[in-house]
Amino acid sequence: MAKSKSIDTFDAKIISLTMVRSLLLLGIIMPLLLIVGCANQLAPGGGGIDTVPPQITEVYPENGTLNFSEKYIEFTFSEYVDKRTFKEALFISPAIDGNLETSWTNTSVRLYFPTALKANTTYHVTVGTDVVDNNNRNRMAKAYSYVFSTGSKIDNGTITGMVFSDKPSGVMIFGYQINRDTIDPAKTKPDYISQVGADGSFQLTGLAQSKYRIFAVKDEFKDLLFQADQDMIGVPTKDYSISEMDSLITGLNFTLQKIDTVKPRILTALMTDKYHILTTYSEDLKYEKIKSANFSLVDSTSLKIYPVVDAFKGRGKQKEFTIGINSTLPDSDKYFLVAKKLVDENDNVTDSDAVSLMVTNKPDTTAPKLIKFEPQQNATDIDFTKPSFMFGFDDAIKFDSLRNTVWLMDTSKNIVPVNFEILDDASFKIIPTSPLKSDKNYRVAINLRRLPDYAGNFLDSTFTTGYKMINELDFTGIYGSIENFDGIEHVILQLVPDSASTLTYTEIPKKDGSFAFAKIRPGKYRLLCFNDKNDNRILDKGFPYPFVPAESFVYMKEVLNVPARWAITEVKFDIKELQVK
């Protein structure tokens, strides 16, 4: 029995060792099986790219909740989203003192308030379109907004409108209660905030009864302040009041602009040869307003002043401009280039500025070359009704005898009478004295031998280029009438092209509201109407501070696709939003 017992014990040990080995083997194999099993459950590769934007599917508290007293709010998304973009896209107004604490669980996020909310206050919460999903970085299609109140009522004031921009998504709407002496969006954060959707629309809700000034701001730093050096801004046409009897304001339209109040400065002056000085500036100038009289050259040793004889853009890059002199300067003296009345593209004017100049007496031996053509050479779609032809050189030239140097001819070599317009010291425009003929060819010839630069260099050749006028039958037109026209003065209509290759057309409607755009190029257009209060035929965009209201405007909702040889008639354009409520 003892022997048998011994054998049984030995067998048991063997069995135990076998079981242990089996279990160990299972411990290795089972995870592998699980991995394989999991791998088999994955979706097959090569599927379509996720293009569905994330959405907010649930919020706490619900929209319109009264007597809210919790210490947190909560959002649930349709998919996993980038936490950082959510944080940057969240806006609560009135503003919360301190920083919100966030707690994420799957696709839900809870936000804890650092301090108690204000009593009897309506809060407006917005999650903007900057939120993107984790899967394919899809942005929210439109901002999500809702309101709740810590009191027994919801402030229901609402302002809606559109921002017209190539990329309106992400533009912020800043709302300010007019209960302070000044409203400067560069120094004061808004009382109410919303964000523009991908289609340009916005809605500012939960507004208390008060008077408001609204701005649209492309807030690059997301600091809720307008910074002119980096942000674009849309200025309203007036201030708006929310009252118990009038709690809804619609039809606020904004167009964005860059505000520039900085005067331009001359930065450098480099003498490239004894006759030319290449100048650079802190920003682009209105070069058509800059002439040789804006400059002078001062010898600081003898105090002698040398005149500048020409000024032109030439081959200059952005922020560059060339000026010329015809005096030989002693290279032993020290010189300063003085610039006066520099005008930038936003009409800021520098009274006077100066930079030092190193002199060179290197000769100018290069002949001037034609470098600019408007229209381009050999263009075939020129408007024969109001044609003009611009030619620009890379150096200043002597325009003493253009009438004996430049000719416009038809195919029979008949000379067409023209006038000349000098644009700057290196470019000029040819303007026929009467319309040219439809669907006909013309040629411009320029005797370059008669156009020397101030050093006497010239090209010993004749330049020629051909142009073909558009066929009159290819023109089209848009005809229609304005609705809700009565009582609005200074109305201007513009056809604004979708493509840069098409012109903008401007018309004044008749007293009965009818309008006609005749002889326009085929293409896609937006019909714009604005209240031109100062009669300058330009949509003035206003100024944020000191506040200058913008001129009111409205776009027709439909894009007009105008084919060649086929006019669009009976267009109805409702401009009631010019009388915005």
pLDDT per residue over 116-143, tens digit each? 999 999 998 989 888 999 999 999 988 8
Quote the number of domains for the chain: 4
Largest separation between any pair of C-alpha atoms in the chain: 138
Q: Are residues 81 and 112 both part of a single domain? A: yes
Host domain of residue 317: 266-357
pLDDT per residue over 394-418, tens digit each? 999 988 889 999 999 999 999 999 9
First to last CA, the chain: 109
* Tokens found for residue 536: 């300058």
Residue 276 CA from chain centroid, whole number: 36
SS3 474: helix
How many helices and strands in the chain, by DSSP H and E? 2, 39
25 has a pLDDT exceeding 60: no
pLDDT per residue over 440-476, tens digit each? 999 999 999 999 998 999 999 999 999 999 999 989 9
Show which of 193, 228, 258 is a domain's final residue.
Answer: 258
- Per the model's pLDDT, the better-predicted residue between 91 and 73 turns out to be 73
478 has a pLDDT exceeding 90: yes
Q: How far is CA 549 from CA 143, 234, 283, 318, in A?
A: 27, 10, 27, 32
* Tokens found for residue 461: 């050749």
Give a yes or no: residue 363 inside a domain. Answer: no
* Tokens found for residue 381: 């779609």
Look at strands 157-164 and 248-255 and give their pairing.
Answer: parallel
What CATH number is given to the structural domain containing 562? Answer: 2.60.40.1120
Distance CA 330, CA 332 (A): 6
Closest CA to 115 of 90, 98, 102, 91: 98
Closest CA to 249 of 217, 210, 198, 219: 210
31 has a pLDDT exceeding 70: no
Are 327 and 308 in contact by the 8 Å Cβ rule? The answer is: no
35 has a pLDDT exceeding 90: no
State mean pLDDT over 80-86: 96
Q: From the CB of residue 245, how many other CB atoms can be counted at a distance below 10 Å? A: 5
Q: Are residues 236 and 97 both part of a single domain? A: yes
Q: Are residues 101 and 208 both part of a single domain? A: yes
481 has a pLDDT exceeding 50: yes
Q: Are residues 212 and 322 both part of a single domain? A: no
Q: How far is CA 485 from CA 489, 509, 522, in A?
A: 9, 10, 27
Distance CA 554, CA 483 (A): 12
77 has a pLDDT exceeding 50: yes
501 has a pLDDT exceeding 80: no
Distance CA 55, CA 131 (A): 9
8-12, 81-85, 158-162, 542-546: least confidently modelled range: 8-12
Q: What is the pLDDT of residue 256?
A: 96
pLDDT per residue over 159-188, tens digit each? 999 999 988 988 999 999 998 778 999 999
- Per the model's pLDDT, the better-predicted residue between 26 and 203 turns out to be 203
Q: From the CB of residue 177, how many other CB atoms can be counted at a distance below 10 Å? A: 17
Q: From the CB of residue 428, how many other CB atoms can be counted at a distance below 10 Å? A: 21
Q: What is the pLDDT of residue 43?
A: 37
Confidence class for position 88, pLDDT limits 50, 70, 90? confident
Distance CA 459, CA 141 (A): 59
Confidence class for position 56, pLDDT limits 50, 70, 90? very high
- Per the model's pLDDT, the better-predicted residue between 209 and 488 turns out to be 209
Show which of 472, 487, 503 is a domain's final residue.
Answer: 472
Q: Tell me, what amino acid is at 418?
A: V
* Tokens found for residue 361: 């007496």
Q: What is the pLDDT of residue 579?
A: 62
Give a yes or no: residue 222 inside a domain. Answer: yes
Q: What is the pLDDT of residue 98?
A: 84
Q: Are residues 177 and 251 both part of a single domain? A: yes
Chain mean pLDDT for the chain: 88
Give a yes or no: residue 502 inside a domain. Answer: yes
Q: Are residues 293 and 352 both part of a single domain? A: yes
What CATH number is given to the structural domain containing 334? Answer: 2.60.40.1220
Are 577 and 253 in contact by the 8 Å Cβ rule? The answer is: yes
List strands edge to edge, sheet with 406-410: 406-410, 441-447, 462-468
Say which residues have a Cβ less than 8 Å from residue 233's Cβ, sequence separation at least 6. 185, 215, 216, 217, 218, 226, 256, 257, 259, 544
Q: Note the helical H segments in 62-192.
A: 83-89
Give a yes or no: residue 456 inside a domain. Answer: yes
Confidence class for position 47, pLDDT limits 50, 70, 90? low
Q: Are residues 408 and 542 both part of a single domain? A: no
Distance CA 481, CA 114 (A): 57
